[in-house]
Amino acid sequence: MKKVKMVISTAVIITVITAAYLTASPVTLTATNEYNVLNKELLASQTKAGGNMTVRRLSKRSFVYAGEGATQKQQLAFWTGFSLFRDPWVTAPSATKDRDGLGPLFNARSCIACHQAGARAGMSETGESLPTALTIRLGFNKPNMNHENNVYGGQVQPRVTKFVHGQHNNSPNSEAWLKLSYSPVNGQFSDGEVYQLQKPSYELTRLGYGELPEHIFPSPRFAPNIFGAGLLDAISDNDLLAQEDSKDINNDGISAKYNRVPNVKNGDIEIGRFGLKAKHPNLAQQVAAAFRDDIGITNSYFPMESCTKKQILCQQASELGGHKSVEIPDKLLDLVISFNGLLGVPPARSLSQPKKQQGQKLFHQLGCVQCHIPSYTTDKNYHVPALSGQTIWPYTDLALHDMGEGLADGVYEFKATGSEWRTPPLWGIGLQKTITGQQRFLHDGRARTITEAILWHGGEAKTAQEKFKQLTKDQRQALLMFLKSI
């Protein structure tokens, strides 16, 4: 675990510690003793969860604000980028060259359709539907396979553009619909209180190109929060690698392992950070992949449409758009990357309340911090100065962890196995409901509350989950109050 070093100012020492300790030199706090005194500087730092990239005022309606530290020029790029994030893309050719090129196969017409208010959009209803924010990726239950013989490619695109163009008035088939159902899982806390979780099951229906090939399985992914992504991009590789413990040499039952993934621009293999199994090495590539895979907008990172070789009508339709090169030029793509990078983090709320302090202590005592690493200082040399050198509180190690059978999707993604997921950041999770009107947690949105999300933790997190179940109701409340305020 990373040590949180903070220096207490003399003024704070006077108020909290007796005069006998007043020997002038500053006291350095470590993770073990930092919560014995209410440290105002520490609280102030925690409250500005995104450092200078925290948003100035909490909004009740949206996460979409640039961090306070963004310059005027960056604000301009932010709001222009936001319009490209928000407005729907249309079928090419069209009169609006700047935002056409949708499809031929796609999941949604805009980024905001899945990342409502910069967070998570509505969850799919149970029964059969065309999914949006609950995206279905396709993957193998073995490592190192490619999609050569998989007509569907790496993601189910349930929507298609309609074409009427000379003899090409045949649209390609939509790939599939989703049938979602839940079955109850009953359990009990040590104090006797009962709970019921819901275990999802998925079936792809109305398959447009025949049965799924053998060894290919659906991997449901519920669109995550995306604010603060620029700051996560700005954590240095070295700080992450210092946390790596893939063989669990320190023998704490937890093996932080980083995915190793290709950087599509230079072919290098780098640490994976973005995506729920950390498939992309940096924010720019993640945004570019979203354009191509989710909206069908080709770009310099991913110049080919997502049609596979066997999707002939999709191939034909993609040639009708009239774009000489890619569908979103770098200039516009960069604006969306800037928008996403500068998207500020909400401030933490009233962490000094005793109950929340108790909750924070429990968060440490239960071992949540072994994966949900509270704090970092971002790389001083990061290429966007507003994001560099910031002390931030995301509560993640961005590493992969085996989360047990209950959460496993069985699908590999580069070095991530079928039961591994990347630790998600926890900042702002308590605001989902007020801002978007709904809350769902975990990679597939199965958890309706934070409590349910914790109860699903298994595998390497089983010990933490068991300790959580042993808490009294009062202690559970304290932990939740803390989690809802960070």
- Chain residues binding ligand HEC by CB under 6 A are 85, 107-108, 111, 113-115, 132-133, 135, 221, 223-224, 226, 229, 254, 274-277, 279, 283, 286-287, 290-291, 294-295, 336, 340, 366-368, 370-372, 401, 403, 407, 421, 423-424, 426, 429, 441-443, 450, 453-454, 457, 460-461, 464, 468
Dist. CA 61–CA 57, nearest whole Å = 12
How distant, in Å, are the alpha carbons of 65, 119, 243, 433 from that of 436?
Answer: 15, 8, 34, 6
Largest CA distance in the chain: 90
Name the residue type at position 305: E
Compute the least distance from the CB of residue 53 to ligand HEC, in Å.
15
Compute the least distance from the CB of residue 33 to ligand HEC, in Å.
21
Q: Which of 163/274 has CB closer to ligand HEC? A: 274
Compute the least distance from the CB of residue 72 to ligand HEC, in Å.
23
Dist. CA 160–CA 104, nearest whole Å = 5
Q: Which of 258/441 has CB closer to ligand HEC? A: 441
Compute the least distance from the CB of residue 411 to ligand HEC, in Å.
11
Dist. CA 469–CA 197, nearest whole Å = 14
Tokens of 82: 């936001």
Tokens of 77: 């790029």
Compute the least distance from the CB of residue 227 to ligand HEC, in Å.
9
Compute the least distance from the CB of residue 429 to ligand HEC, in Å.
5
Q: Which of 321/424 has CB closer to ligand HEC? A: 424
Dist. CA 280–CA 292, nearest whole Å = 14
Dist. CA 287–CA 229, nearest whole Å = 11
What does the CA dihedral 296, 297, 300, 304 come to, rounded to 10 degrees? 40
How distant, in Å, are the alpha carbons of 3, 241, 326, 376 from that of 236?
Answer: 16, 9, 31, 9
Q: Which of 34/444 has CB closer to ligand HEC? A: 444
Taking Cα atoms as reference points, which of 486, 474, 353, 382 lies closest to residue 424? 486
Q: Which of 163/302 has CB closer to ligand HEC? A: 302
Compute the least distance from the CB of residue 52 to ligand HEC, in Å.
20
CA 161 to chain CA centroid, nearest Å: 28
How distant, in Å, are the alpha carbons of 112, 160, 389 from that of 157?
Answer: 17, 8, 39
Tokens of 248: 């669990």
Q: Which of 8/133 has CB closer to ligand HEC? A: 133
How distant, in Å, are the alpha carbons of 133, 151, 282, 306, 307 from that of 102?
Answer: 17, 20, 24, 12, 13
Q: Which of 8/121 has CB closer to ligand HEC? A: 121
Taking Cα atoms as reference points, which of 385, 431, 355 lies closest to residue 62? 431
Q: Which of 371/387 has CB closer to ligand HEC? A: 371
The phi, psi pair for 348, rounded to 5°, reads: -75, 155
Tokens 């989950």: give the residue.
465
Compute the least distance from the CB of residue 221 to ligand HEC, in Å.
4
Compute the least distance from the CB of residue 4 to ligand HEC, in Å.
17
Q: Which of 115/415 has CB closer to ligand HEC? A: 115
